[in-house]
Amino acid sequence: MAIFKGAGVAIITPFHEDGSVDYEKFGELIEFQVQNKTDAIIVCGTTGESSTLTHEEHLDVIRYCVEKVNHRIPVIAGTGSNCTQTAVYLSQEAEKSGADGLLLVTPYYNKGTQNGLYQHFKTIADSVKIPVILYNIPGRTGVALLPETIVRLCREVENIVGVKDATGNISQTAHLMQLADGCVDLYSGEDGIIVPMLSLGGKGVISVLSNVAPGQTHEICSRFFEGDVEGSCKLQLRALPLVDALFCEVNPIPVKKAAELMGLCGGTLRMPLTEMEPEHAARLEKELKAFGVL
Protein backbone atom coordinates (compact mmCIF):
# COMPACT_ATOMS: atom_id res chain seq x y z
CA MET A 1 0.00 0.00 0.00
CA ALA A 2 1.46 3.34 -1.09
CA ILE A 3 1.91 6.07 1.54
CA PHE A 4 -0.37 8.21 -0.60
CA LYS A 5 -1.84 8.33 -4.07
CA GLY A 6 -2.42 11.59 -5.93
CA ALA A 7 -1.01 15.07 -5.38
CA GLY A 8 1.20 15.68 -2.37
CA VAL A 9 2.29 19.26 -1.74
CA ALA A 10 5.95 20.07 -1.12
CA ILE A 11 4.84 22.77 1.27
CA ILE A 12 6.67 26.06 1.76
CA THR A 13 7.82 27.19 5.21
CA PRO A 14 6.59 30.76 5.83
CA PHE A 15 8.88 33.14 7.70
CA HIS A 16 8.36 36.42 9.51
CA GLU A 17 10.32 39.38 8.17
CA ASP A 18 12.99 38.69 10.80
CA GLY A 19 13.45 35.20 9.36
CA SER A 20 11.77 33.23 12.16
CA VAL A 21 9.17 30.60 11.29
CA ASP A 22 5.65 32.05 11.02
CA TYR A 23 3.64 29.25 12.59
CA GLU A 24 0.33 31.11 12.37
CA LYS A 25 0.64 31.40 8.59
CA PHE A 26 2.01 27.86 8.38
CA GLY A 27 -1.15 26.60 10.06
CA GLU A 28 -3.26 28.54 7.57
CA LEU A 29 -1.30 27.06 4.66
CA ILE A 30 -1.88 23.56 6.01
CA GLU A 31 -5.62 24.20 6.31
CA PHE A 32 -5.69 25.64 2.78
CA GLN A 33 -4.12 22.44 1.50
CA VAL A 34 -6.38 20.07 3.42
CA GLN A 35 -9.52 21.94 2.43
CA ASN A 36 -8.51 21.91 -1.25
CA LYS A 37 -8.07 18.14 -1.56
CA THR A 38 -4.30 17.79 -1.32
CA ASP A 39 -3.58 14.10 -0.82
CA ALA A 40 -0.48 14.45 1.39
CA ILE A 41 1.80 17.10 2.86
CA ILE A 42 5.55 16.83 2.40
CA VAL A 43 7.14 19.06 5.03
CA CYS A 44 10.73 20.29 5.27
CA GLY A 45 11.71 19.43 1.73
CA THR A 46 13.60 21.59 -0.74
CA THR A 47 10.55 23.84 -1.19
CA GLY A 48 10.32 24.17 2.60
CA GLU A 49 13.86 25.59 2.72
CA SER A 50 15.02 22.75 4.95
CA SER A 51 18.64 23.46 4.08
CA THR A 52 18.54 26.71 6.08
CA LEU A 53 16.50 25.45 9.04
CA THR A 54 18.40 24.58 12.20
CA HIS A 55 17.88 21.02 13.44
CA GLU A 56 15.64 22.37 16.19
CA GLU A 57 13.54 24.39 13.74
CA HIS A 58 13.41 21.45 11.32
CA LEU A 59 11.96 19.15 13.95
CA ASP A 60 9.62 21.81 15.37
CA VAL A 61 8.16 22.44 11.90
CA ILE A 62 7.59 18.70 11.43
CA ARG A 63 5.93 18.38 14.85
CA TYR A 64 3.69 21.37 14.21
CA CYS A 65 2.63 20.02 10.81
CA VAL A 66 1.83 16.56 12.18
CA GLU A 67 -0.24 18.02 15.03
CA LYS A 68 -2.08 20.48 12.77
CA VAL A 69 -2.94 17.87 10.14
CA ASN A 70 -4.09 15.50 12.90
CA HIS A 71 -4.28 12.35 10.74
CA ARG A 72 -6.55 13.90 8.08
CA ILE A 73 -3.99 13.17 5.34
CA PRO A 74 -0.49 11.66 5.45
CA VAL A 75 2.44 13.84 6.51
CA ILE A 76 5.80 12.93 4.99
CA ALA A 77 8.84 14.54 6.59
CA GLY A 78 11.96 15.48 4.67
CA THR A 79 14.81 14.22 6.86
CA GLY A 80 17.60 13.61 4.36
CA SER A 81 21.16 14.85 4.78
CA ASN A 82 24.57 14.32 3.27
CA CYS A 83 25.60 13.10 6.74
CA THR A 84 24.13 9.65 7.35
CA GLN A 85 24.04 10.01 11.14
CA THR A 86 22.31 13.41 10.90
CA ALA A 87 19.67 11.84 8.65
CA VAL A 88 19.25 8.98 11.15
CA TYR A 89 18.72 11.47 13.97
CA LEU A 90 16.22 13.61 12.05
CA SER A 91 14.37 10.51 10.82
CA GLN A 92 14.05 8.99 14.27
CA GLU A 93 12.80 12.26 15.72
CA ALA A 94 10.28 12.68 12.88
CA GLU A 95 9.00 9.17 13.55
CA LYS A 96 8.60 10.00 17.25
CA SER A 97 6.64 13.11 16.22
CA GLY A 98 4.11 10.97 14.34
CA ALA A 99 5.15 11.48 10.71
CA ASP A 100 3.57 8.93 8.40
CA GLY A 101 6.63 8.59 6.20
CA LEU A 102 10.00 10.08 5.29
CA LEU A 103 11.49 11.66 2.17
CA LEU A 104 15.25 11.13 1.93
CA VAL A 105 17.26 13.12 -0.59
CA THR A 106 20.45 11.73 -2.10
CA PRO A 107 23.51 12.93 -0.14
CA TYR A 108 24.76 16.09 -1.81
CA TYR A 109 28.35 17.34 -2.12
CA ASN A 110 30.13 14.24 -0.77
CA LYS A 111 27.86 12.22 -3.12
CA GLY A 112 28.88 8.57 -2.65
CA THR A 113 29.12 5.63 -5.03
CA GLN A 114 26.05 3.55 -5.83
CA ASN A 115 27.10 1.12 -3.10
CA GLY A 116 27.64 4.05 -0.75
CA LEU A 117 24.18 5.38 -1.56
CA TYR A 118 22.71 1.93 -0.91
CA GLN A 119 24.40 1.73 2.50
CA HIS A 120 23.39 5.33 3.34
CA PHE A 121 19.70 4.78 2.66
CA LYS A 122 19.63 1.30 4.21
CA THR A 123 21.20 2.61 7.42
CA ILE A 124 18.62 5.38 7.72
CA ALA A 125 15.65 3.16 6.85
CA ASP A 126 16.79 0.46 9.27
CA SER A 127 16.78 3.03 12.09
CA VAL A 128 13.01 3.63 11.81
CA LYS A 129 9.84 1.64 11.18
CA ILE A 130 7.86 4.10 9.03
CA PRO A 131 8.00 3.98 5.21
CA VAL A 132 10.65 5.82 3.23
CA ILE A 133 10.52 7.51 -0.18
CA LEU A 134 13.87 8.13 -1.85
CA TYR A 135 14.41 11.52 -3.52
CA ASN A 136 16.42 11.44 -6.73
CA ILE A 137 17.29 14.97 -7.88
CA PRO A 138 20.76 14.97 -9.44
CA GLY A 139 20.39 18.53 -10.71
CA ARG A 140 20.59 19.79 -7.12
CA THR A 141 22.68 17.14 -5.39
CA GLY A 142 25.24 16.30 -8.05
CA VAL A 143 24.64 12.57 -7.67
CA ALA A 144 22.06 10.28 -9.26
CA LEU A 145 20.49 7.13 -7.89
CA LEU A 146 20.55 4.66 -10.76
CA PRO A 147 17.43 2.58 -11.51
CA GLU A 148 19.22 -0.60 -10.42
CA THR A 149 20.06 0.92 -7.03
CA ILE A 150 16.51 2.16 -6.47
CA VAL A 151 15.07 -1.27 -7.27
CA ARG A 152 17.64 -2.98 -5.05
CA LEU A 153 16.75 -0.71 -2.13
CA CYS A 154 13.01 -1.22 -2.59
CA ARG A 155 13.40 -4.99 -2.81
CA GLU A 156 15.93 -5.50 -0.03
CA VAL A 157 14.91 -2.90 2.57
CA GLU A 158 11.39 -3.54 3.78
CA ASN A 159 10.33 0.04 4.55
CA ILE A 160 11.87 1.71 1.48
CA VAL A 161 8.83 1.84 -0.74
CA GLY A 162 9.39 4.28 -3.58
CA VAL A 163 11.09 7.26 -5.16
CA LYS A 164 10.39 10.89 -5.94
CA ASP A 165 11.86 11.11 -9.43
CA ALA A 166 13.07 14.60 -10.33
CA THR A 167 15.57 13.51 -12.96
CA GLY A 168 13.43 14.75 -15.87
CA ASN A 169 14.66 11.71 -17.80
CA ILE A 170 11.55 9.86 -18.93
CA SER A 171 13.55 7.13 -20.66
CA GLN A 172 15.45 6.40 -17.46
CA THR A 173 12.20 6.42 -15.49
CA ALA A 174 10.68 3.93 -17.94
CA HIS A 175 13.75 1.72 -17.46
CA LEU A 176 13.31 1.99 -13.69
CA MET A 177 9.67 0.90 -13.84
CA GLN A 178 10.51 -1.96 -16.20
CA LEU A 179 13.14 -3.23 -13.75
CA ALA A 180 10.90 -2.64 -10.73
CA ASP A 181 8.03 -4.84 -11.89
CA GLY A 182 5.75 -3.24 -9.33
CA CYS A 183 8.08 -2.96 -6.33
CA VAL A 184 8.66 0.83 -6.60
CA ASP A 185 6.05 3.50 -5.82
CA LEU A 186 6.89 6.24 -8.32
CA TYR A 187 6.13 9.91 -7.68
CA SER A 188 6.83 12.67 -10.18
CA GLY A 189 9.19 15.30 -8.83
CA GLU A 190 8.37 17.66 -11.69
CA ASP A 191 5.02 19.39 -12.14
CA GLY A 192 5.44 19.67 -15.90
CA ILE A 193 5.39 15.90 -16.48
CA ILE A 194 2.84 14.53 -14.01
CA VAL A 195 0.76 12.76 -16.66
CA PRO A 196 3.72 11.12 -18.42
CA MET A 197 4.93 9.81 -15.05
CA LEU A 198 1.47 8.50 -14.19
CA SER A 199 1.37 6.74 -17.54
CA LEU A 200 4.48 4.80 -16.52
CA GLY A 201 2.73 3.57 -13.39
CA GLY A 202 3.28 6.53 -11.09
CA LYS A 203 1.30 6.91 -7.88
CA GLY A 204 1.21 10.69 -8.05
CA VAL A 205 3.31 13.82 -7.69
CA ILE A 206 5.19 15.63 -4.95
CA SER A 207 4.33 19.08 -6.15
CA VAL A 208 5.41 22.71 -5.96
CA LEU A 209 2.38 23.73 -8.04
CA SER A 210 0.09 22.39 -5.31
CA ASN A 211 1.16 25.25 -3.04
CA VAL A 212 -0.87 27.65 -5.19
CA ALA A 213 -3.24 25.30 -7.05
CA PRO A 214 -3.90 22.29 -4.81
CA GLY A 215 -7.33 21.46 -6.19
CA GLN A 216 -6.20 21.56 -9.79
CA THR A 217 -3.09 19.45 -9.13
CA HIS A 218 -5.19 16.90 -7.26
CA GLU A 219 -7.56 16.79 -10.22
CA ILE A 220 -4.78 16.10 -12.73
CA CYS A 221 -4.08 12.93 -10.78
CA SER A 222 -7.64 11.97 -9.87
CA ARG A 223 -8.89 12.27 -13.45
CA PHE A 224 -6.05 10.06 -14.67
CA PHE A 225 -6.81 7.40 -12.06
CA GLU A 226 -10.51 7.53 -12.90
CA GLY A 227 -9.71 6.77 -16.55
CA ASP A 228 -10.19 10.29 -17.91
CA VAL A 229 -6.70 10.48 -19.38
CA GLU A 230 -7.71 13.10 -21.94
CA GLY A 231 -9.14 15.35 -19.24
CA SER A 232 -6.07 14.86 -17.08
CA CYS A 233 -3.81 15.74 -20.00
CA LYS A 234 -5.79 18.91 -20.76
CA LEU A 235 -5.36 20.07 -17.17
CA GLN A 236 -1.65 19.25 -17.28
CA LEU A 237 -1.13 21.25 -20.47
CA ARG A 238 -3.17 24.17 -19.16
CA ALA A 239 -0.94 24.32 -16.08
CA LEU A 240 2.34 24.39 -18.01
CA PRO A 241 2.70 28.18 -18.37
CA LEU A 242 2.22 28.60 -14.62
CA VAL A 243 4.60 25.71 -13.90
CA ASP A 244 7.21 27.35 -16.11
CA ALA A 245 6.78 30.64 -14.24
CA LEU A 246 7.11 28.83 -10.90
CA PHE A 247 10.51 27.57 -12.00
CA CYS A 248 11.85 30.61 -13.89
CA GLU A 249 14.11 31.16 -10.88
CA VAL A 250 15.41 28.58 -8.46
CA ASN A 251 12.71 26.94 -6.33
CA PRO A 252 11.28 28.10 -3.91
CA ILE A 253 11.85 31.75 -4.84
CA PRO A 254 8.91 31.94 -7.30
CA VAL A 255 6.45 29.89 -5.25
CA LYS A 256 7.16 32.02 -2.17
CA LYS A 257 6.42 35.12 -4.29
CA ALA A 258 3.26 33.45 -5.62
CA ALA A 259 2.06 32.74 -2.09
CA GLU A 260 2.70 36.38 -1.20
CA LEU A 261 0.81 37.62 -4.27
CA MET A 262 -2.12 35.35 -3.34
CA GLY A 263 -2.14 36.64 0.24
CA LEU A 264 -1.38 33.22 1.67
CA CYS A 265 1.73 34.30 3.57
CA GLY A 266 4.71 36.64 3.39
CA GLY A 267 7.37 35.99 0.80
CA THR A 268 10.39 36.18 3.10
CA LEU A 269 13.24 33.87 2.08
CA ARG A 270 16.39 32.83 3.88
CA MET A 271 19.71 33.63 2.24
CA PRO A 272 21.30 32.67 -0.05
CA LEU A 273 17.85 32.83 -1.68
CA THR A 274 16.89 36.40 -2.54
CA GLU A 275 13.89 38.40 -3.77
CA MET A 276 12.56 37.49 -7.21
CA GLU A 277 13.62 39.69 -10.12
CA PRO A 278 10.84 42.20 -10.99
CA GLU A 279 10.37 41.02 -14.58
CA HIS A 280 10.03 37.41 -13.39
CA ALA A 281 7.58 38.44 -10.68
CA ALA A 282 5.46 40.22 -13.28
CA ARG A 283 5.44 37.10 -15.45
CA LEU A 284 4.46 34.98 -12.45
CA GLU A 285 1.60 37.32 -11.52
CA LYS A 286 0.33 37.19 -15.10
CA GLU A 287 0.30 33.39 -15.12
CA LEU A 288 -1.37 33.14 -11.72
CA LYS A 289 -4.17 35.35 -13.05
CA ALA A 290 -4.42 33.39 -16.31
CA PHE A 291 -4.72 30.14 -14.34
CA GLY A 292 -7.47 31.62 -12.20
CA VAL A 293 -5.83 31.44 -8.77
CA LEU A 294 -5.18 35.18 -8.42
User: Which residue in 25, 37, 164, 203 is the catalytic one?
Assistant: 164
Verify whether residue 164 is a known catalytic residue. yes
**226 exposed, middle or buried (CB, 10 Å; 0-12, 13-18, 19+)?**
exposed
Cα-based angle 177, 180, 182 (whole degrees, multiple of 5): 90
**2 exposed, middle or buried (CB, 10 Å; 0-12, 13-18, 19+)?**
middle
Q: Rounded distance, CA 217 to CA 251, Å?
A: 18
Q: What is the chain's Cα-based Rg?
A: 18
User: Which residue in 37, 135, 187, 257 is the catalytic one?
Assistant: 135
Verify whether residue 187 is a known catalytic residue. no
117 residue type, one letter: L
CA-based nearest residue to 284, from 273, 270, 294: 294
Q: Which residues belong to the active site?
A: 135, 164
